[in-house]
């Protein structure tokens, strides 16, 4: 695969993220960005699209969209688990499938 971003990936990142895509599993924490959430996903992933809809429905705080397709380390770590929502502050992850109730609980610091 090419290192260049696919047009679909660029559109997804622009639509759902207010931050540039993250290339590190745990982006650095700053006082104005705590906690930091990352959604690990793939290009052309219908489950990822569903996860984005769930996160929008619960008005999730800003998060970074990270596409694992071209990153061997992320591919090894997340593989078929995507979409995965990670809270970098707690080091916890919410694997798909999740509904609005589970997403809200996770985002509020629950399991």
Architecture of the domain defined by 35-111: 3-Layer(aba) Sandwich (3.40)
Tell me which residues of the chain have a pLDDT lower than 70: 1-35, 111
pLDDT of residue 3: 46
pLDDT of residue 110: 83
Q: Is 94 exposed, middle or buried (CB count within 10 Å of its CB: 0-12, 13-18, 19+)?
A: buried
Question: What 3-state class would DSSP assign to 86?
Answer: strand
Q: Domain limits of the chain?
A: 35-111
Question: What 3-state class would DSSP assign to 109?
Answer: coil
pLDDT of residue 31: 52
pLDDT of residue 40: 98
Angle between helices 100-107 and 46-57 (to 10 degrees): 70
pLDDT of residue 10: 56
C-alpha–C-alpha distance, residues 73 and 96, integer Å: 20
pLDDT of residue 30: 53
């Amino acid at each position: 695969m090419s290192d260049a971003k696919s047009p679909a990936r660029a559109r997804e990142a622009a639509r759902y993220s207010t931050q540039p895509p993250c290339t590190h599993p745990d982006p650095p924490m700053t006082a104005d960005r705590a906690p930091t959430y990352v959604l690990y996903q793939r290009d052309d992933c219908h489950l990822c699209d569903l996860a984005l809809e769930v996160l929008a429905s619960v008005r999730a705080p800003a998060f970074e969209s990270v596409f694992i397709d071209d990153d061997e380390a992320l591919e090894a770590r997340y593989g078929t688990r995507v979409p995965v929502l990670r809270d970098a502050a707690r080091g916890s992850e919410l694997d798909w499938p999740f509904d609005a109730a589970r997403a809200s609980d996770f985002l509020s610091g629950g399991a």
